[in-house]
Each structure stands twice: as structure tokens, then as C-alpha cells.
Amino acid sequence: MQKRKLGNSNFEVSAIGLGCMGMSFSYGPPKDKKEMTDLLHAAVDRGITFFDTAEVYGPFLNEELLGEALAPYRGKVVIATKFGFDLSGSDNRPGAAGLNSRPEHIKQAVEGSLKRLKVDAIDLLHQHRVDPNVPIEDVAAAVKELMQQGKVKYFGLSEAGVKTIRRAHAVQPLTALQSEYSLWWRKPEQEVIPTLQELGIGFVPYSPLGKGFLTGKIDENAKFDSSDFRSTLPRFTPEALTANQALIDLLGGIAKRKNATPAQIALSWLLAQKSWIVPIPGTTKLNRLEENIGAVSIQLTPEDLRDIDAAASKVKVEGARYPERLEKMTGL
């Protein structure tokens, strides 16, 4: 497995990480604990060293799963987690919890994450969503204090806009930004990626396979259970899925040429954008894990990348990526 450094830091991780949310949250009921433990061990055996979780996934279940499953590999793997939601209520649907990044709440959240992850220090701590009620300088100062206490090693943001990134970075340098980025969500290219390049901050794209769509396994007949949060997303209505099929046709054509799968082309395209981009595709299946890892060895030529860009520019992706209430939580 190739390694990459996130930004200007010495924070080195496998070129592809593993997003672990779906093991416990959002894509239907929590999966079987033993099966997910086996999958996490299989990921380590195959060279993945970077695992992504958050306290809200479950809530708490996902951190507990990773803490237990990855305990034998302490020191060989890194775990990124996130704070920023108020989990005191009873409604645990994705995004239902209110935001809370008050400094005292961050410290409380970190203590909980340390216990569940069974670690002395959190490798990479992200603010999950920007809290408009708390100045980002106060958030960065709270994390800086936790770093000085040895409880956090590196600081990141998730779904933040460039003004917030700059303001946070001035107080405590950021190692990574985690945001959605893929062939069907390219907005970060406009302002975010140039800003990260300028400041030396790494980029960790979540949903690099478009929440499963870019695998080519989802068509307009797909049915999503009410416990699957894609059932609430405008981009996953039958009409949008039909319109967006053109993107899958494009990936499929290039995949045939490369003896690869559409998912592998989508991931290798991301890896080819910048040397400091580390996508974190999520999966609960071993064959998908192996397929995603296979993307690292696919070389896209400059001509391949031009072809993908030219074809993708003709495909208008239909449907907002989130309902309006959740979209308001992004890009502040």
C-alpha cells in the first residue's frame, strides 16, 4: 500500500483510508460486530492504516467498535474522529442533533472519544460541522489546548469554507480538511482545494464514491429503507438517479479500457488530483474493500484524466446532495 502525507505535516497514512460510519450508522441498522471487527482486521492486513469515525456515528457505537477492534494494532494505525454535535437529546437521526462546539463541550467530547477508542491521544480530531454560534478561533484554541495536554495530535475541520479554514489555521495550524469530493461533487475545486494547497493542509474526501452511486450498482429502481439516510437525499430520487446514470456510463467506458471497475476509476481519479488527497471510501463488505484498495495501483495517464474531465463536464448532475436543512451546515 502506498503512503501519503496530509499537507505539510508529517502525518503519514495509507493512500486510501477506510470510512467506518456505515458499520454502525446511516446505512440501515448497525452491522454485526464480529463481522465488522473481521473487516477492520482485514483492512489492516491489506495495508490500510487510516480509519475514520465520529462520536455521532451510533452515537458512540462506531468509536467503541474501532477502539476494540483496532486495539491490537495500536501504534500501527491512526484513527480520525470528530466532535461538534450535541448528543444530549434522544433523536439520533443523521444531522438531527444540534451543533455544539463550545470549548467545554469539545473537552468533554474528547474525554469520551479517548475512552471509547482506548487511546491516550486522538491522532486526528476534526470539528464535524462549523458551529455558527461559536467563533472558530475559540474552537481552534480549545483544540490547541488539548494538543498541548497531549490528548490530540493533529487538528482538522470538516465541511468548512475557506474563511473558516483561514481563521482556524491562524490559531492552530490545520493538518486536514474532510469534505465531500468526487466526480459528482466537484465544488471544492473552486476555492477550497487552492486554499488547502496554499496553506499546506491535506484533503480527506468523504463519500468519494458518491454514497455508493459511483460504483455503478445503483440505478433508478434502487429502493432505500427508511433507516438508510439516502432515502432522504434529493440526489437519490428515481428521477435524479436516471439523469445521473450518464456519469456511470462515462466511468464504465474508462474502466473497461483499464480492466478496472467504475469505483476504482472514481477513486484513482481522486488520487490523481493531488498528492495530498486521501479518500476514505466506506464499506461493510470485504470484496468492496479489496476493490477500493485496487484503485491505488491504477495509473490514469494525463490523457485519461483529460478524457474524464471533458466527458464529465458534459454531464449535469441532478439533485442537491443534502436536504436544505443539512446543506446549511456545510461550507460556512
Catalytic status, residue 27: no
Nearest to 12 by CA among 27, 1, 23, 28: 1
Set of cell numbers at residue 60: 458512540
- Which of 57, 154, 181, 206 is catalytic? The answer is 57
125 and 143 Cβ atoms separated by less than 8 Å: yes
256 CB-near residues (< 8 Å, 6+ apart): none
Instruction: Give the residue from 179, 184, 176, 203 showing the smallest Cα distance to 276.
Output: 203
CA pair distance 139, 172, nearest whole angstrom: 10
191-to-166, 264, 318 alpha-carbon distances in Å: 12, 26, 22
Residues forming the active site: 57
